[in-house]
């Protein structure tokens, strides 16, 4: 990293040192996570911080929400039509792997079994009965309505400031046990904690959803002709009765809400910490994905050890993060210069966005990343930068020149 920073003018580095900018290499994701916590960029939560009372009241209020009611009415109409098509023999879907196998076994074939493929007289592709075609179309519409209601619930929960989500990321019906796993819960204690939160957030709706699903699966089992499959489903039912958290639920119909907590393990190992969606996104971006970060509050440029090559170079990461520090500190040291310079930066960035091209795709993220990529490539390949984005070359050079002037004062 020192080799790479030697490419900067000594006066620029002197300015960075006087302003208290520090470089730091972190060796593990756990170290990065702890650093983010220490500097206030990440906030963990605990199960008892989830306002389950407010969440439950919010869930109950959805029953009187006009838009939610309109979506529910459309769903009920489509499900009624599906029942008209199949009566008591309508295929039940949405029970995960087990349900897919069982529903498939319960369906009757539409014609005689195929006898294999004859090379001289190839068999025609199987024809989908009209009923099934309509059923497939109905299922597609139901999925769209489910997604629409999920987005509505998520929007309403954000407006109300309630830490819950609709669970639109879960396709079809799913048990709270599987939801816990999707939220990162692995140990029995974590799953038990998540189940307790699910009960507190959803109250009677959770039990109603499970009772209805259990009745539907029992009805499916009663209709099955295959003894082996019927026995297999019977064992599944026994397990669900003993462990209600394993019962798949219609989360849309019953307004089942999911606590906005994620069991996060830095580096994928060790004891989990609880994060909400906002902090999880930060962790995924900065801990798992970023090769470097700059913390303006503490004036620290962090470089992931994985970005440091055997030759000591970070392949631009150190230069990029240091440039963020120069950006912030020049703004604080010479506001008049920065006002004019930043206006030119914004103009150059807008032009690059319009073109859809700059020195890198990442440079188009925002003006600060734009100039950071400019400073990085100013030191890596100045001629290439000037060819690909002359305006970025100029604003990067002016920032470095100003920092150099301040370094000798």
pLDDT at residue 333 is higher than 50 = yes
Q: How confident is the model at residue 41 (pLDDT cuts 50, 70, 90)?
A: low
Q: Is the pLDDT of residue 366 over 90?
A: yes
What's the pLDDT at 129? 80
- For residue 304, which phi and psi values (nearest 5 degrees)? -70, 135
Ramachandran angles phi, psi of 121, nearest 5° = -130, 80
Give 353's pLDDT tier (boundaries 50, 70, 90).
Answer: very high
What pLDDT is attached to residue 125?
Answer: 60
Q: For position 395, what pLDDT does the model report?
A: 96
Q: Are 245 and 93 in contact (CB under 8 A)?
A: no
* CA–CA distances in Å: residue 372 to residues 12, 39, 306, 326, 387: 15, 22, 20, 9, 17
CB 404 within 8 A of CB 9: yes
User: Helix count (H) and strand count (E) of the chain?
Assistant: 17, 7
Reported as a single tens digit per residue, the pLDDT across 186-229 is 999 999 999 999 999 999 999 999 999 999 899 888 888 889 99
Q: Which two tokens stand for residue 21?
A: 């900018």
Tell me what pLDDT residue 286 has.
60
Let me know if domain 2-45+273-408 sits in CATH 1.20.58. no
By residue count, the chain amounts to: 409
pLDDT tens for residues 1-38? 566 777 788 999 999 999 999 887 765 566 666 666 66
pLDDT confidence of residue 194? 94
pLDDT at 102: 38
88, 101, 220 from 247: Cα distances, Å:
21, 16, 14
Instruction: Give CA–CA dist 382/398, Å, rounded.
Output: 14
CB-side exposure of 178: number of CA atoms within 13 Å?
Answer: 17
- Measured CA to CA, the distance from residue 274 to residue 221 in angstroms comes to 39
What is the pLDDT, as a whole number, of residue 310? 46
Q: Where are the domains of the chain?
A: 2-45+273-408, 52-108+130-260
DSSP one-letter string for 292-359: EEEETTTTEEEEEGGG--TTS--TTHHHHHHHHHHHHHHHHH-HHHHHHHHHHHHHHHHHHHHHT-SS
Instruction: Give the pair of three-digit tokens for residue 87.
Output: 């009566």
Q: Note the pLDDT of residue 95.
A: 37
| pLDDT above 80 (res 166) | yes
Q: What is the pLDDT averaged over residues 298-304?
A: 78
Instruction: Flag whether pLDDT at 181 surpasses 60.
Output: yes
The residue behind tokens 């920065």 is 338
């Amino acid at each position: 990293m020192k080799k790479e920073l030697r490419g900067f003018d000594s006066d620029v580095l002197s300015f960075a040192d006087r302003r208290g900018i520090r470089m730091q290499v972190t060796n593990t994701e756990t170290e990065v996570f702890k650093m983010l916590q220490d500097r206030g960029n990440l906030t963990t939560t605990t199960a008892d911080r989830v306002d389950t009372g407010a969440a439950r009241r919010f869930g109950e209020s959805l029953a009187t929400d006009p838009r939610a009611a309109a979506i529910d009415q459309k769903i009920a109409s489509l499900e009624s039509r599906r029942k008209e098509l199949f009566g008591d023999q309508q295929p039940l879907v949405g029970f995960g792997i087990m349900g897919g196998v069982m529903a498939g076994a319960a369906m009757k074939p539409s014609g005689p079994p195929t006898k294999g493929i004859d090379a001289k007289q190839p068999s025609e592709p199987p024809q989908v009965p009209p009923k099934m075609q309509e059923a497939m179309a109905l299922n597609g519409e139901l999925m769209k309505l489910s997604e629409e209601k999920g987005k509505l619930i998520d929007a309403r929960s954000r407006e109300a400031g309630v830490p819950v989500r609709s669970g639109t990321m879960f396709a079809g019906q799913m048990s709270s046990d599987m939801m816990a796993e999707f939220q990162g819960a692995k140990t029995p204690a974590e799953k038990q904690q998540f189940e307790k939160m699910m009960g507190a957030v959803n109250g009677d709706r959770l039990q109603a959803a499970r009772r209805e699903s259990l009745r539907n699966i029992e009805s499916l089992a009663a209709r099955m002709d295959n003894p082996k499959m019927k026995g297999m489903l019977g064992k599944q039912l026994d397990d669900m009765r003993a462990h209600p958290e394993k019962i798949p639920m219609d989360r849309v119909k019953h307004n089942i809400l999911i606590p906005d907590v994620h069991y996060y393990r830095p580096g994928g190992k060790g004891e989990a910490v609880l994060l909400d969606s906002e902090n999880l996104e930060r962790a995924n971006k900065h801990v798992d994905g970023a090769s470097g970060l700059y913390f303006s509050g503490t004036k620290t440029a962090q470089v992931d050890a994985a970005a440091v090559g055997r030759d000591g170079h970070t392949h631009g990461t150190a230069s990029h993060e240091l440039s963020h520090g120069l950006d912030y500190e020049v703004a604080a040291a010479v506001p008049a210069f920065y006002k004019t310079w930043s206006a030119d930066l914004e103009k150059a960035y807008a032009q690059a966005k319009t073109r859809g091209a700059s020195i890198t795709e990442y440079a188009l993220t925002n003006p600060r990343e734009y100039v950071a990529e400019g400073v990085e490539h100013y030191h890596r390949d100045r001629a290439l930068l000037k060819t690909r984005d002359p305006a970025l070359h100029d604003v990067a050079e002016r920032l470095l020149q100003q920092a150099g002037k301040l370094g000798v004062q």
